[in-house]
Amino acid sequence: MRDSDWLDPFDPTIRTIYSKSECRAEANYSFRGDVDVNISDWLRLPQSLELRPLFAFEFQRSNLMAHDGAQWATGEPTIALPGDSLHFRQDYYLYQIGLRVIYSGINVGKYINIRIRGESDWGPARGYDEDKHLLRNVFTNDRTLGYGLYCSSGLDMVVAKAVTIGFTMDYLQIRTKGTHLFRDPDNENELEWKDGVKVWSDQTSLTAHIAYAF
């Protein structure tokens, strides 16, 4: 994990503190659900082609702990950061509408059918994060709003109507802006600003699967 601060009030473009630490993932999870409807019959499309408008919701939580690092500050010697030093939590709430397309009209021989799947979703995204500096007792959090874009494609091979082998590749882009709150309880200091507050994420995955119907 890399962490930077810009604390010079006369020139906020200068990075005044920088740290680099080892990082471990703690309780991280995501949930995604959707509801779709097949409109191919309404459009009189071939049975091998399915068009499915959908609504999807996704929630993500990432918990990361920085530990055993080092810190550099302007005009000061390097400081070792043994043990746990910074805990970061990021939550995302995504509300999306989109379209799922499935084409199953490719047959290879008598027993093999190939299905091609594609999906594209877009909608608003809300973000909330907490950044706790354990060694300095300093807290920050961001409340942001923006958009999320989700795309996926995949291929399934159905063998003898019972065994399905396939893969899926997907990509999720999240871009949000909002408000940053800084709290220093020991010095009774609290600041809030919106200028330059950006929180973003790019996530890509590749999944392979095999299933048997009985």
Residue 7, pLDDT > 90, answer: no
Q: What is the pLDDT averaged over residues 53-72?
A: 97
User: Which of 110, 101, 131, 128 is closest to 199 using CA atoms?
Assistant: 128
Greater confidence (14 vs 202) lies with 202
Confidence of residue 199 (pLDDT cuts 50, 70, 90): very high
Angle of CA points 25, 176, 199, to nearest 5°: 40
Query: Are 179 and 128 in contact, with CB atoms under 8 Å apart?
Result: no
The predicted-structure confidence for 72-119, as pLDDT tens digits, reads as follows 998 899 999 999 999 999 999 999 999 999 999 899 988 899 999 999
Give me the residue label for tokens 């396939």. 166
Instruction: Give the pTM.
Output: 0.89
Q: 8-17, 18-27, 98-107: which range is least confident on average?
A: 8-17
The single-letter DSSP state of residue 134 is T
Q: What residues contact 24, with CB distance under 8 A and at least 6 apart? A: 64, 65, 67
Distance of CA 178 to the CA centre of its chain: 17
**What is the arithmetic mean of pLDDT over 161-189?**
93
> Max CA-CA distance within the chain?
76
**Domain covering 2-212 assigned CATH 2.40.128.90 in the classification:** yes
CA 107 to centroid of chain Cα atoms: 36
pLDDT for res 96: 98
Band (pLDDT 50/70/90 cuts) for residue 180 is very high
Q: What is the pLDDT of residue 6?
A: 86
Quote the pLDDT of residue 8. 86
Cα–Cα nearest to 58, from 144, 142, 174: 174
Give the mean pLDDT of 54-72: 97
Give the CA-trace dihedral at 99, 174, 202, 100, to 10 degrees.
Answer: -10
End-to-end CA distance of the chain: give it in Å, rounded: 47
Question: pLDDT digits over 116-152, tens only?
Answer: 999 999 999 999 999 999 988 899 999 999 999 999 9
Buried b (16+ CB within 10 A) or exposed e, 117-154: bebebebebbbbbebbbeeeebebebebebebbbebeb
Output the average pLDDT for the chain. 94
